[in-house]
């Protein structure tokens, strides 16, 4: 099992109410019963700020990007109260070509441990909405901005898999043959899912906009793919290696 690079996390924003970091891939947000002694983002941030912090949301272990912690129970309550209204944008690369823009509103079934006992347990599902916008199509794949109104477990991964537009590198919901090709030829070692931008109401009033640059491993992977369109690099705010000014 791959491990995250040790060391302090990049801080995107810090004040008396919250701290936002850029989570690297392969780092869990917090410990679980199955892995009680693992290195986790929660403990790293506590060590960095020298005090308790409270996670507001989760990111998949393989995913990277914006991760927010409250610095007090009061701030956590205020942030959670406005969380559904927050704008959450992810970058993801999927197989095949997609429409320019579309929405997926298919309800998603709860996890087994969340189901209520009874004959109707397996039928339980939750509303889920993912809005998608195409950035560019290249190398038989499409870079998308995925925006969430809800936050169900593996929502983007499950919604896109149900549309036969599996995320590249997704070993659970994706296509192994395509994943193997991108790993062997371009070095994609994990899920291409990055929590890119988050816009939320701050407990002290006003709006806070956060952005985590695309993780270095995903940038390096894109750099190995021939003929990535210029609009991709413009969106990411970087210039690919080998290109002049």
Return the active site residues: 60
Q: How many CB atoms lie within 10 A of CB 166?
A: 20
Spatial separation of the C-alpha atoms in residues 143 and 127, rounded to whole Å: 25
For the four alpha carbons of 18, 3, 159 and 140, in that order, the dihedral sign comes to positive
For the four alpha carbons of 201, 205, 207 and 210, in that order, the dihedral sign comes to negative
Q: How many CB atoms lie within 10 A of CB 127?
A: 11
The token pair that represents 181 in the structure block:
């090709």
User: Distances in Å between the alpha carbon of 35 and those of 31, 153, 171, 206?
Assistant: 6, 19, 20, 38
DSSP 63-127: -EEEEEEESSHHHHHHHHHTGGGSEEEEEEEEES---SEEEE---EEPPGGGSPSSTTGGG-EE-
Residues 187, 221 contacting (CB under 8 angstroms): yes
Phi, psi of 235 (to 5 degrees): -65, -40
User: Distances in Å between the alpha carbon of 159 and those of 103, 129, 140, 154?
Assistant: 10, 9, 20, 8
């Amino acid at each position: 099992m791959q491990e995250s690079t040790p060391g302090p996390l990049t801080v995107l924003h810090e004040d008396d109410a919250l701290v936002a970091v850029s989570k690297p891939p392969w780092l869990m947000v917090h410990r679980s019963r199955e892995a009680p002694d693992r290195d986790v983002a929660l403990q790293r941030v506590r060590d960095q700020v020298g005090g308790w912090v409270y996670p507001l949301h989760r990111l998949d272990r393989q995913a990277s990007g914006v991760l927010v912690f409250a610095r007090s129970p009061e701030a956590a309550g205020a942030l959670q109260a406005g969380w559904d209204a927050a704008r959450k944008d992810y970058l993801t690369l999927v197989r095949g070509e997609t429409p320019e823009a579309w929405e997926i509103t298919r309800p998603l079934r709860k996890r087994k441990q969340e189901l209520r006992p009874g004959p109707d347990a397996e039928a339980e599902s939750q509303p889920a909405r993912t809005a998608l916008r195409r950035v560019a199509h290249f190398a038989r794949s499409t870079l998308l901005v995925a925006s969430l109104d809800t936050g169900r477990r593996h929502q983007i991964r499950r919604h896109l898999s149900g549309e036969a537009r599996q995320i590249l590198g997704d070993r659970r919901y994706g296509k192994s043959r395509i994943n193997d090709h991108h790993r062997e030829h371009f070095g994609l070692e994990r899920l291409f899912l990055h929590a890119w931008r988050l816009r939320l109401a701050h407990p002290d009033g006003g709006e806070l906009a956060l952005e985590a640059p695309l993780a270095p491993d995903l940038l390096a992977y894109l750099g190995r793919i021939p003929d990535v369109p210029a609009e991709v690099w413009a969106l990411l705010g970087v210039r690919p290696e080998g290109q002049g000014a």
